[in-house]
Amino acid sequence: MEDLTGKKEVTTETTKCSKCGEIKSFKDFSKHKANKNNLQSWCRKCSSTGVTQYRNTEIGYLRMRYGSMRASEFRNRVHGRKNKCLLTFDEFLAAWKRHKSIYGMKSAWGPGINNLEQHLPVTMVHKVGGQGGKLKGSKQTGSNLSVDRLDPNQDYTLQNIIFIRADENDRKKHTTYSDCLIQIKLHDERFKNDSTTGRLLVDE
Ligand SMILES: [Zn+2]
């Protein structure tokens, strides 16, 4: 909050953090209007640690993923289209539980439930500062759970979302169904032993 006089607020007032118990300067606390002193009861350090710990739990991690789905409504994406998130958090959670009942803590990417050993495991690890690319050079954990829209031109719906890994989503990105068909056709032309020419077009 800005000082109405425009001067930089210099405060020597202190209060006790209800989490770590340390007496700290007011500036070590975030604002919270509903509270006494207009401050959070936990200091910034404890709040940040608490948030990080929460985001490393399953429910906290899922809430974070859901939050970024909601946030994507305000970002421009492929073809200038904005993606709507048409799911409530409860629906999203139910979808994840259904996924887990089929795949366990594994990605949906793979040959299917009879060959689950070929599906890679998903993790839910949140690193401090690793969110939203705020830190330069910070990398998202590749194995982390990622919510993919099967059809990137459609919204986040129960029908359209699948749970895969961040590194898999990175490979797939905005690839559409028709993109895949083109890719397969081109691949077949190049790599299948062509019977009309009778020669293999690539090195073995
Ligand atoms: Zn504290």
Q: How far apart are CA 154 and CA 83, in angstroms?
A: 7
pLDDT of 37 reads: 84
Instruction: State whether 163 and 66 are in the same domain.
Output: yes
pTM check: above 0.85 = no
pLDDT of 137 reads: 47
Position with higher pLDDT, 82 vs 3:
82
Instruction: State whether 64 and 120 are in the same domain.
Output: yes
Q: How many Å lie between the centroid of ligand 1 and the Cα of residue 31? A: 14
**pLDDT tens digits, one per residue of 90-116:** 999 999 999 999 999 999 999 999 999
pLDDT of 140 reads: 74
Residue 7 has pLDDT above 60, yes or no: no
Q: How many Å lie between the centroid of ligand 1 and the Cα of residue 159? A: 43
Q: How many Å lie between the centroid of ligand 1 and the Cα of residue 50? A: 10
pLDDT of 131 reads: 46
Residue 2 inside a domain? The answer is: no
Average pLDDT over residues 135-146: 74
Q: How many Å lie between the centroid of ligand 1 and the Cα of residue 96? A: 34
**pLDDT tens digits, one per residue of 145-187:** 999 999 988 899 999 999 999 999 999 988 999 999 999 999 9
Instruction: State whether 166 and 183 are in the same domain.
Output: no
Instruction: Give how many domains the chain has, as a whole number.
Output: 3
Q: How many Å lie between the centroid of ligand 1 and the Cα of residue 140? A: 28
127-152 burial by CB neighbour count: b if 16+ within 10 A, else e?
Answer: eeebbeeeeeeeebeebbbbbbbeeb
Instruction: State whether 43 and 84 are in the same domain.
Output: no
pLDDT of 74 reads: 73
